Chains A and B, each alone.
Chain A
């Protein structure tokens, strides 16, 4: 009597879920490949040792290679979340499950990866939505610490860390008399603190270098200032958070003055007011808040929807995030729909797709490994029945560095299966 509930996904998974072993070569055939870096093409994706070795119509399947037949399916690179609290938060109203935000202003030494909860129920749900990799960032304070690019599948944070540190996060102080008229002098204090901290860090760095060179005595290690040294050395990108127009302008001016050139701006739809400058100064942007309502009642109703198109038209390099709040970690899976809304309001579709794949990888400094289906890149991709920017599309399988992800670990799917089979109650 029991109706078979196996979906296409489950069939596929049961047939093909073999562990990727070293030296293993797998050919994914029959699908339409969406390399992102190039137009879609029907062809074969060849994966060896977790890396893509070939992708295209002319790819020959080597002898001994396993073949995964994907007729009628589509293969896309994994979606990449550029700014998330995944793994740091479980249930926002239950304090014990929240590790997203540290107190204090100077948290440069905070590292996101060490609190990344490998068994968070949120992670498989995000992967079911096609997101296998996320830049997980700490919050709280002026210098918030460093983010880490995390695989969402694995056994513990160490083996899930794809790259760390990705960048130092700085919440740029809001500007007095800014867009929303906060003339609170806390802002000035925050700016002062920022300048003082930087001056301290430079003095500290100088003393440390002198000590290392043996030209001065050793000094006591200050973990917070120590953590700023790679930033001063230009070895670590600075991720500056600024949302208001004046705040963004002030942040850009400040970064220029201080000589921070390895800069990423994490921002919202107000960035459209500065599209020209951002393009000219070649500042890469993580655009959050595509789905926000206009911040001001006089703005066009679609001003946030259309912000990405404006950035694109001006020539800004950007990727798209979600709303940016920790609240949204549970629905990180909706990331592609933010990009889709930008496409509905003027962003070319291929740019929208790129904004949650290759552009994100590039801006996070992982353009060599992620974001497209190109030889040499990680075999981190998803199999779908259509355009992943369409909500009605289903993500059917996912491969992380050549290893298939078990999407049935998703708690929501398990509850679905359990209750879908609940017998009708006796009445």
Chain B
């Protein structure tokens, strides 16, 4: 297979991790928010081999640490995104479900791990200060299982923290496929029946195993996958859609004794009492209603409830938390994760405290996800997941400078106005360790700042996930699976006329590359 050849070719750049630079770092002179509400005005954070070794005012950098002067900056625990939804590729036409549920909307056996790190989603989450995320599958009623990962580059296995974190569900009618159900009440009925079936399935299988001398109940991967949810052992994360959805799901959780986490909808403030009384944890988007269109004074089309909601929605996080609901915030529903910060600034203006916001993005999700012992604060023994900020998080002008994930640094560059147009065909040579040189061809189309294109090596062509121009640089990322390296491969090229050079990171390690432009779009036309 070509993929194998490519993999073999690129795999040589996979120098053993131990051969890289030492993974001991000290961030010095930095303001440390060790936990929500706990601040060290100036101190040092020491990271060793992916773990926080020390953090505090009196900490001295160890002798073997690489020093990073971070005076004037603030370091926080890396943010945790509890709900990053990933669309999965469509199942092939006519492909029979493998002992799944008869309804295509019920696919709880889906495992999102293989697709979790796809595209440039990790990079975008990092830009918002996230270092850890739950990736959940999209589409359907029972959507499948989520996976908890750190947001580093490299193979999925290096980043994987926990598989099967929770089961994911939604009553969104957009998934309906023409048959049963066609209505919300039908979807609720199917939900109820599927969970009953899952509970039954466990006892039926057990009974048959104990006594095979009777008709054998059919196997179902779907019902098996729902067992934990049906028994109330595994969290079921459900998109509420709207306020009525929240109330409906709370009722179902109670009726069926489920451990439900609600994905919030922004309308919770309108009826806090029953929401709080239901006691379900919330994954709360910080998405606010679009501003109504510029209305004329005698406008008729903008409804009063729309106006009120627009006006009041930013207070929702504060009100929900104030009502005693356990809330983890999520960037879900935002056009870009980065939007989290200005939106949180609005929420803070409307009553949320910065401390509450930080907790809802660090310690609360860490506890909910069962990783409080290794994430959520800047304390010795925790994963070396940090976000370094010029200014304060959750302000409109917060400048996120870098995140550290498992002790590796990711610089967050602010994109600058494009100074180059890199469209065309680039012949580049990748140099990894031990003198390996691999020729690749990069084809870029479109105009700055965002281009499309592909990269080819050894006859294998892979579409780019992104190609963004900032200043004189273009940052390219794509999925490494086609080259036999599951995970993200990314590199940055500095462009000067028709020459380029830069460096990058693959699941196998860092590399450099350089080359020239051999054709421009004009040549092609």
Contact = CB atoms under 8 A, between A and B. Distances in A.
A292 to B, nearest CB: 15
Interface stretch (B296-304, B341-349, B503-511): B296-304
Interface string A170-191: 0000000011110000000000
Contact of B303 (A178, A270, A273, A297): A297
A179 B301 contact: yes
A180 B301 contact: yes
A179 B304 CA distance: 14
A298 B301 contact: no
B305 A179 contact: no
Contact of A298 (B293, B298, B304): B304
B305 A296 contact: no
B303 A179 contact: no
A275 to B, nearest CB: 13
A253 B145 CA distance: 60
B522 to A, nearest CB: 35
A268 to B, nearest CB: 13
Contacts, number: 19
A241 interface: no
Contacts of B304: 297-298
A245 interface: yes
A273 B298 CA distance: 9
A181 B301 contact: yes
Interface in B297-316: 298, 300-301, 303-305
A270 B301 CA distance: 12
Contacts of B301: 178-181, 296
A179 B300 CA distance: 6
Nearest to B293: A181
Contacts of A298: 303-305
Contacts of B303: 296-298
A297 B305 CA distance: 8
**Could you say which of B298, B300, B303, B304 has the most chain A C-beta atoms within 10 Å of its C-beta?**
B300
A296 B300 CA distance: 8
B197 to A, nearest CB: 40
Contacts of A180: 301
Contact of A245 (B293, B300, B305): B300
Nearest to B304: A298
A298 B302 CA distance: 9
Interface residues of A, number: 10
A78 B300 CA distance: 38
A270 B304 CA distance: 17
Interface in B256-306: 293, 298, 300-301, 303-305
Interface in A259-286: 270, 273
B136 to A, nearest CB: 34
A296 B299 CA distance: 12
Interface in A145-181: 178-181
Contacts of A178: 301
B300 A273 contact: yes
Contacts of B293: 181
A296 B295 CA distance: 16
B489 to A, nearest CB: 43
A161 B42 CA distance: 96
A245 B301 CA distance: 10
B209 to A, nearest CB: 57
Nearest to A183: B293
A273 to B, nearest CB: 7
Nearest to A179: B300
Nearest to A270: B300
A181 B304 CA distance: 16
Contacts of A179: 300-301
A270 B300 CA distance: 10
B282 to A, nearest CB: 27
Interface in A269-314: 270, 273, 296-298
A296 B304 CA distance: 9
Contacts of A296: 300-301, 303
A180 to B, nearest CB: 6
A273 B300 CA distance: 10
B264 to A, nearest CB: 24
A271 to B, nearest CB: 13
A375 to B, nearest CB: 47
A394 B303 CA distance: 43
A178 B293 CA distance: 12
A181 B293 CA distance: 10
B384 to A, nearest CB: 51
Nearest to A182: B301
**Could you say which of B298, B301, B304 has the most chain A C-beta atoms within 10 Å of its C-beta?**
B301
Contacts of A273: 298, 300
Which A-B residue pairs are the 10 nearest by beta carbons? A298-B304, A179-B300, A181-B301, A298-B303, A179-B301, A297-B303, A245-B300, A296-B303, A180-B301, A296-B300
19 contacts: A178-B301, A179-B300, A179-B301, A180-B301, A181-B293, A181-B301, A245-B300, A270-B300, A273-B298, A273-B300, A296-B300, A296-B301, A296-B303, A297-B303, A297-B304, A297-B305, A298-B303, A298-B304, A298-B305
Interface of B: 293, 298, 300-301, 303-305
Given A178-B301, A270-B300, 10 more contacts: A179-B300, A179-B301, A180-B301, A273-B298, A273-B300, A296-B300, A296-B301, A297-B304, A298-B304, A298-B305
